[in-house]
Every structure is written in C-alpha cells, then in structure tokens.
Amino acid sequence: MSDKDIKSDSNTDWQFKLHGIIYESNTPAGKAFDIGLLIAIFTSIIVVMLDSVVSIHAKYGQMFSTLEWVFTALFTVEYILRLVSIRKPFRFVWSPLGIIDLISLLPSYLSIFFIGAQSLLVFRALRLLRVFRIFKLGQFLTEINFLTHALKNSLRKISIFLLTVLTITVILGSIMYLVEKKENGFSNIPESIYWAIVTITTVGYGDISPITPMGKFVASVVMLIGYAIIAVPTGIITHDIALAARQKKELPESCPSCSREGHDSDALFCKFCGSSLYR
C-alpha cells in the first residue's frame, strides 16, 4: 500500500468518525452532540422571542445580541462540520435539512445589512425536527416518510381536485353576483368569488351574506359542497399512505457520503448517490 493510499484511508477514518458523531445518534457521542444541538437551537429561539418584547429588549437587549452571535458562530461551525464530514457535501447542501440549516444561519448575517432580518431566526424552530431522529422515535419518522411519499404520489390528483374546486367557486361566485344585488355586498364578480371561497371552505367570515331567497338557496348548495369536498383530498392522501406503508422497512442510518436517509433495510449502497452505506 502506498503512502498516498495510507493517507487517503486516514482521511476517510476521521471523516467517517466525524460523520458518526454529527449525523448518527446510535452512539453516546452522537446522541450527546444531537441533544446539545437541540438545547442550543431551543435556547436561541427563546432568546429571539424574548428579544422581541420591548420591555425585555430595553433591559437585556445587549446581552441577547451577544448571545445571538454566539449561537450563530456555533451553528456556523456545526454547518461546516456537516459539510466536511461527508464525501459529497453538495448533496447535503441541497437536501431539505441542509436548506433548513442554511436558512437558519442567513438571518444573522443578513441583519448586518438589513435591519430587522434577525426576526427571521425563528426559522430555527424547523431544526427541532431532528428530535425524531435523536430519540429514535421510529414510528414518527416512518409516518413522516409515508406522508412525504403520499403527497408526492397524490400531487397530480390533488392539483386536478383544486382546479375543479376553483372552477366551481368561479361559477358559484358568478351566479351569486347575478342573483344578489350590489347593495347586498356582491358588488363585482371577484368579490362574489371571494365569498364563494370563504363559504366553500367552511370559514364563513360573515362580512358578506346573501339576502334574497334564491341567494340563500345558492349559499346552502355551496355550504353542502364545502362539506362534501373535505373528504376528497383526505381519501386521496389516505390511499397513497396505505400504498407507501407497504414498502420495505427503512434503515435509520444516513449515508456517509450525502447524508440522505430512507434506505431499505437490506440496502448496501445509497439509493441517492450510489455510495456504500458501510464505508
């Protein structure tokens, strides 16, 4: 074995160990890292929320600002470590968790140039989703995966359904514009369509309501349609969730190359990047 190969194996060893600490939670070091990260995220969110209270900001504003930059520095280091601990860092950058991590960092740096950007730091709450992996709540992870697959599979059907509902609201709103008079609040077709959307979604603000008998009849039809269409998307998603549930059980570990999860229980290679799941 050449010196170059020995050096390459050495680099892979430390990278693999760092990956186990940062991305996995099945070791004491990995679980301690993730729990500490969650505590830091939760604390930083509390700091942002308290800093938005005028009376508290006036008294502790400087301390909150210092703490926020400390958290920003810690999360920046953590983000860099996540990149260097995998062999294909750009896979992580464009992954859902990678995008969330980046979004949670940007507001602090943007606040240097744009006043008020630090209020966007509440996006760090999304990073608390890591709690499902850290405490090995496998059933929740499984359900999240089922829901993700179901939404992807039912996207086309849901889109057609929404287009159908939109068409119905345009027609019913136009009918209400013809039936009701302008003095009853239905002054134009867009305003009438707004009423139809509010009614068919069972929100019912009550700012516009029909007065004539025919208008009340049309409103009753819209209300009944509103209750009827609630079951349609529920049935579509439920069907696709049932199909997703029949898939193989997934591994909880993430790929050491791209950090993606969701591999089959008997998988040896990552289905996203093709790298070995076991070095």
Instruction: Tell how far CA 276 is from the center of its chain.
Output: 28
Whether residue 105 contacts residue 127, with contact meaning beta carbons closer than 8 Å, is answered with no
Whose tokens are 């308290």? That residue is 50
Which DSSP symbol is given to 117? Answer: G
Which residues, listed in sequence order, are joined to residue 250 by a DSSP beta bridge? 264
pLDDT digits (tens, 9 = 90+) for 67-89: 988 988 998 998 898 888 888 88
Number of CB atoms found within 10 A of residue 43's CB: 12
CA–CA distance, 170 with 190 (Å, rounded to integer): 9
pLDDT at residue 156 in the model: 81
pLDDT at residue 205 in the model: 83
40, 43, 247: which is closest to 145 by C-alpha? 247
CA–CA distance, 80 with 78 (Å, rounded to integer): 5
CA–CA distance, 223 with 202 (Å, rounded to integer): 7
pLDDT at residue 110 in the model: 80
* Phi-psi sector, 274: left (phi>0), alpha (psi -120 to 50), beta: left
pLDDT digits (tens, 9 = 90+) for 123-178: 667 666 666 555 555 455 556 666 676 677 778 877 888 888 889 889 988 998 88
Q: Which two tokens stand for residue 118?
A: 């630090």
Q: Which two tokens stand for residue 61?
A: 């504003």
Whether residue 24 contacts residue 253, with contact meaning beta carbons closer than 8 Å, is answered with yes
Q: What is the dihedral of CA 220, 226, 228, 233, to 10 degrees?
A: 170
Higher pLDDT, 138 or 202: 202
Longest dimension (CA), the chain: 91
Residue 64 — φ and ψ, nearest 5°? -65, -40
User: 215: which residues sit within 8 A by CB, 6+ positions away?
Assistant: 176, 179, 180, 184
pLDDT band at 48 (very low <50, low <70, confident <90, very high): confident
Express as a percent the part of the chain with pLDDT over 90.
3
pLDDT > 50? residue 7: no
Task: Tell me the DSSP string of 187-205.
Answer: -SHHHHHHHHHHHHTT---
List the single range of 80-89, 108-117, 171-180, 261-270 with lowest mean pLDDT. 261-270
